[in-house]
Amino acid sequence: MTALSLREAGPPPPSGDGAPSPTSTTGQALNSPSALLASLTTRSRTPGTAALARTTAPASARDTTAGPNVPGTSSGRYAPDTPDAPGSRYVSTGTANTATDRPIRRKDRFRIGSITKSFTAVVVLQLAAERRLALDDTVEQHLPGVIRGHGNDGRDLTLRQLLTHTSGLFSYTDALGTHTTTFDRAYTPASLLRTALAHRPLFAPGTDWSYSNTNYTVLGMVIEKVTGRSYAEEAQRRILTPLRLTGTSFPGDSSRLPAPHGRAYSGTPASPKDVTAIEPSGAGAAGEVISTLDDLDRFYSALLTGELLPAAQLAEMRNTDASGGVYGMGLMRTELSCTTVWGHNGRIIGSYAETAATSDGRHVLTYRLNSDWSTDEKLKKALLESEFCRKSRK
């Protein structure tokens, strides 16, 4: 079950639960995004996939060898508020519902998992730009006494380390699990943090890198302490409303997936389990968001073109030195054969999604699968190669 939205987006109109999984990709026999998308479905026996891509290119640069809705072309004209214009291409394979064989639709809502971290990071960086906090503040300055025990100490942790996953905090999902046992009950950020603090840190703050959902749970708590509003309320006010991301929402403890939507599946390809309705509070500021292909394309395009952050904060977000080149602040870096792309991936029960965009935000790809079992990492990397580098090889 997969959906792919290939969007070439412009200015204004992988393993685990979202951790980067750098892999090398050699030549693939499949050389178009649509063929690779279908292969993701075939090889993992998932009912469906979908993707959306857009580029900002002058009309004279349009690829005239295919119709405007054919995925795989990497040039086009971006027209704000006209998502079906040339340059916006959508393709899907398989089914959104194994019982009815309904196709995955472009406007379907789905859970985006750890892509949520990009939204949380933007709010923190906006607060830094407003000087309501500083990235080198300690956690203790904002949450006094909250991080203590088993060698964990908020006086030694900075917000920068939380954003870059260099805090050493144990990831609570490693204790709770990532499937039905985590999503069948309600949690609070404080209870998730207590789970993490029952474990010793993985390393001294700032001395290593390890992806941890606890980091972004704590950042959500910091946002609320600084603003008096939840991270979700701040993201709504600062990101969703200005960008008109009407398909994006923060479920909190609601198990409902807003319409329209297909189904979400977990388990195995041979024995899929419908997990569309889950209790998402175990994900919170690290992974709860629901969105659409179009909204994710629009968000990352706006982010990388400077709509959401001043230049200094965007540069901080894209600084990957602390991670050895793969992760900045809520933003993943992927090196392709022809360029560097930026975005994030996310895996949550019943869903996998990834967005990647060129550094200038003018070409964006989002794809999704409505299942959570493993897919071929090389194929996923090859999909990015095909979308962003295919024309450079001609």
Catalytic pick among 88, 114, 212, 230: 114
**Given the DSSP bridges, would you call strands 332-335 and 110-111 parallel, antiparallel or unpaired?**
unpaired
Going by the DSSP 8-state scheme, the letter that residue 107 receives in this structure is: T
Distance of CA 339 to the CA centre of its chain: 20
* Phi, then psi, of 359 in degrees rounded to 5: -60, -30
The contacts of residue 318 (CB under 8 Å, 6+ apart) are 328, 331, 333, 342
Cα–Cα distance measured from residue 219 to residue 167, given in angstroms and rounded to the nearest whole number: 12
Cα–Cα distance measured from residue 165 to residue 171, given in angstroms and rounded to the nearest whole number: 10
Residue where the block lists tokens 């941890």: 212
**Exposure on the CB side of residue 154, measured as CA atoms within 13 A:** 19
Structure tokens given for 387: 């979308």
H/E run at residue 15? none
Q: Give yes or no for a cis peptide into 144 (omega within 30° of 0).
A: no
Going by the DSSP 8-state scheme, the letter that residue 8 receives in this structure is: E
Instruction: Give Dmax over CA atoms of the chain in angstroms.
Output: 63
Residue 114 falls in the annotated catalytic set: yes
Closest CA relative to residue 172, chosen from 206, 151, 202 = 202
- Strand locations in 262-319 (E): 265-267, 272-274, 290-291
Active site residues: 114
